[in-house]
Structure 1
Amino acid sequence: MNLAVVLVSPKTPGNIGSAARAMLNMGAADLRLVAPRCDYLDPQSVAMAVHAADLLRSARVYPTLREALADRDLSVGTSARVRADLPPGRHPATLRPLVRAAAAPALVFGPEETGLINSDLEQCQVTVRIPTGDYASLNLAQAVLLVCYEFLQGGEDISASERKTATREEMEAVYGHLRETMELIGYTDAVRARHTLRLWRALLDRALMSSAESRLYRGFLRQVHWKVQDAARRGRDALQAGQAEPPSDG
C-alpha cells in the first residue's frame, strides 16, 4: 500500500527516529515531516531508528500540512479528543476498508504536546481514535505503530478500488472555491465562514469525490459566480441607461 505517515511539527529527534522504526516494522516507507522543530537526522534520531535509518534519511520535509497532503487521496487524522464542529474519531478497524481502498492514503499525527489542532483536522476526511484506558495519551511512536498495524497488517486484505478519489489538493481547491461562492451569494460572511465551511467539509469529505466529480462541482460553482456577476453587470447597465435618458417633455 502506498501509505504516507505525516508527522506535524515533531519536537524530539528520538520520537522521529522511533516513529520511523515503527513504520518499518509495519511495512510503511513514506515518511513526511511538516515544519519539524528539530534536526530529524540528529544522531539520537538515527540511533532510535535502528534499521530504519535509510527510511529516516529519505523522509521529505514540507512547510505546511496542505503541501504534505497535496498528492494524497485520503488523509486520516489522529486525535484522542472530541472536537466541536468536527466528526468524532472512529475505531481504526472501522476505517481499515476505506484506507485500503485508497490509492494514496496518509496518516497524520500531531505534535507531541498538543496533538493535531482543529485546522489540521479540517484537512483530513476522517479522524481515527485509538481505544485506550482512561489515560489516552500515547507516545508518538506508539501511536504510529498501532495505527499502521491496523491499516497495513491487521485483519483481512481488502482489494483496492479502481475509482480514483480526488487528491487533497483538489479538494482544498473545491473548499476555497466554495467559500468564495458562499460569501459572494451571501450564504455566509467572513465571521461565520470558517464554522460553516467545517460543516460543508464534513459533508463533502464523506462523499469521497473522484477527481472528475471535484471538477464537476467546481464547474457548477463557476457557473454560480458567472450568473451572479452577470446579473450585477446587467443591473449596472440598466441603471446607467436610465440615468442617460433625456428628461421627458411632459
Structure 2
Amino acid sequence: MLDNLSIVLFGTKFPENVGSSARAMTNMGCENLTLVRPASWDMEKARPLATVKGRDIVEKALIADELSEALKDQTRVYGTTARTGGWRKGVMTPSTAAPLIVEQLRAGEKVAVVFGPEDRGLTNDETQLCSRLINIPTSHENSSLNLSQAVLIILYECFKNALDKPFTPAGPPEERPTSFEEQEILASNLQETLLAIDFLKADNPDYWMMPVRRFMSKIDIKRNEFNLLMGICRQIKWIAGQAGKK
C-alpha cells in the first residue's frame, strides 16, 4: 500500500526512537527506513522498541552519511518542521499532504518524508532539499512531539488515503430480532416471574399483564436480549422460591 514511501530519519539522537518509529511504520504498512548520520546508533537498543513486527524494518534500514545521498533516488521529498512563518511558506498539515503523497505513490513515484533530530529538527539548509514541508499542529502550550509520534501521525494520514474504500471498524455481528414464538415465551416467563414476586394480581394475571405486554411490543428485543431476560426471570423465580420455603 505504501511500498514506495520511505521514512528518512536524519541525525536521530536516540536509537530507541528509531525502534519506536519502526514500530509505527509497521502499523501503517510502510517498510522503507533510512537513517542519515544517526548520533549514536545501537541496533540492540533499537530492536526492543521496534517489537517483533518492526525488527525487520530496523535490521534492513539503510544508513547514509549525507541527506542528499539518502534522497538521490527519490522523486518527491517532504520535510517535517515544527517552525512556520518566515520563508517557510505553504507548509502543509499531514491531512493536506497525505492525499498528494498517495496520488504521487499511485503514479509510481518514490516519496520520502524526512524527520530531523529530536532536539532541533531540520535546519534551513536541510529543508532546502525538500520540495514541500509538513507541520503537525499541536497545542501552543506543548508543541513537542516524540519522533515516533510524528512518524505515526503522518503515516496514519497516508494510510487512510491509500485505502480503496473508507475504513469502518468492524462492530459486533447484528443480532436477529426475536420471533413471535420467542416473544410469547418471554411474556409467559415474565408473567410467571411477576406473579412469583406478587407484582401481578393472581385473580386475573392476564388482564394485569396487558400493560406489560404493550410496553414489550414497543421494544425491538433481539435474540441476545431475549436470552438475558429469560435468565433474569429464572433467577428471580429461584430467589422467590427460596424465600417462600423460609
TM-score, with length taken from structure 2? 0.61
CA deviation map 1:67-112 (0-9, x unaligned): 1111111111111111532324211121122201221111100001
Kept in 1: contact 2:64–2:70 (CA 8 A): yes
Check conservation: 1:21, 1:48, Cα contact below 8 A: yes
Report sequence identity in percent. Answer: 38
1:173 matched residue in structure 2:
none
Contact 1:16–1:40 at 8 Å: present in 2 too? no
1:141 aligned onto 2:124: no
With the length of structure 1 as denominator, give the TM-score of the two structures.
0.60
RMSD: 1.7
Counterpart mapping for 1:81-230 below 5 A? 81-102=83-104, 103-134=109-140, 135-154=142-161, 157=164
What is the deviation of 1:132? Answer: 1.2
* C-alpha contact 1:32 1:61 (8 A) present in aligned 2: yes
| Cα-to-partner distance string for 1:181-231 (whole Å, 9 max, x where unaligned) | xxxxxxxxxxxxxxxxxxxxxxxxxxxxxxxxxxxxxxxxxxxxxxxxxxx
* 8 Å Cα contact 2:77-2:112 kept in structure 1: yes
Which 5+ residue runs of structure 1 have no aligned equivalent?
A: 159-250
Question: Structure 2 regions of 5+ residues with no counterpart?
Answer: 166-246
Q: Which runs of 4+ in 1 moved over 6 A?
A: none
- Tell me, yes or no, if the aligned pair for 1:80 and 1:89 is still in contact at 8 Å: no
Deviation at 1:153, TM superposition (A): 2.7
- Does structure 2 conserve the Cα–Cα contact (< 8 Å) formed by 1:31 and 1:56? yes
Distance 1:30 1:40, change over 3 A: farther
SS at match of 2:58: helix
**Deviation, structure 1 residue 120:** 1.1
2:10 and 2:36 in contact (8 A); partners too: yes
Larger-gyration structure (1/2): 2
The 8 Å contact of residues 102 and 161 in structure 2, kept in 1 or not, is answered as no
Partner Cα distance (2:42, 2:59) in 1: 8
Question: What is the Cα deviation at residue 154 of structure 1?
Answer: 4.5
Question: Does residue 49 of the first structure (1) align with residue 44 of the second (2)?
Answer: no
Change in Cα spacing, 1:154 to 1:97, as seen in structure 2 (3 Å) is: closer
Change (3 A) 1:47 1:6: same
Q: Label 1:154 to 1:132 Cα distance change in 2 as closer, same or farther (>3 A).
A: farther
Q: Is residue 102–residue 162 contact of structure 2 (8 Å, CA) maintained in 1?
A: no
CA distance in 2 between counterparts of 1:149 and 1:157 reads: 15
Task: Tell me, yes or no, if the aligned pair for 1:17 and 1:40 is still in contact at 8 Å.
Answer: no
Q: What is the Cα deviation at residue 24 of structure 1?
A: 0.6
**Deviation, structure 1 residue 156:** 5.5
**CA–CA distance in structure 1, aligned partners of residues 153 and 98 of structure 2:** 13
Aligned length: 157
Among 17, 20, 24, the residue aligned to 1:18 = 20
CA distance in 2, matches of 1:11, 1:96: 27
Residues 4 and 28 in structure 1, CA contact (< 8 A), matched pair in contact too? yes
The equivalent residue for 2:38 is: 36
| Structure 2 equivalent of residue 244 of structure 1 | none
Work out the CA distance in 2 between the residues paired with 1:136 and 1:25.
Answer: 24
